A = this chain, B = another copy of it.
Amino acid sequence: MTDMNKTQIEPTEKAEILKALSHPKRVEFLEWMREPENHFCSQAHPVEMGICAGQFEKCCGLSQSTVSQHLSVLEKAGLITLKRVGQWSFYQRNEDRIAAFIEELRNTL
């Protein structure tokens, strides 16, 4: 009864998530995605679909390839999910996973 049926975070996953969060830019990406309308207002598609990869590029002054890599790290850690629509990649926060991670920290750290 401590953790209901929330997604469980394995030790290996916890380490991977912490690594993903060790770069300030990636943390920023996650935080921006909390309020998409404030940070990605120039997006043509509705923000409910997720944030288009290209949107990050404009906000952060990094190259396209670097942004793509950062997003990939976040995705592999499970903190965001990727949905491809046409030629675009839409990323979304994985709220369950993020919450589970913080809960894991609360319990173990």
- Interface residues of A, Cβ cutoff 8 Å to B: 14-15, 18-19, 21-22, 24, 27, 30-31, 98, 102, 105-106, 108-109
Contacts and interface: CB of A to CB of B under 8 A. Distances in A.
Question: Would you call the interface of chain A mostly helix, strand, loop, or mixed?
Answer: helix
18 contacts: A14-B27, A15-B24, A15-B27, A18-B18, A18-B21, A18-B22, A18-B24, A18-B27, A19-B22, A21-B21, A21-B22, A21-B109, A22-B22, A30-B109, A31-B109, A98-B109, A102-B106, A102-B109
Given A14-B27, A27-B109, A102-B109, 8 more contacts: A15-B27, A18-B22, A19-B22, A21-B109, A98-B109, A102-B102, A102-B105, A105-B105
Contacts of A19: 22
A98 to B, nearest CB: 6
A22 to B, nearest CB: 3
Given A18-B21, A19-B22, A21-B22, A31 B108 contact: yes
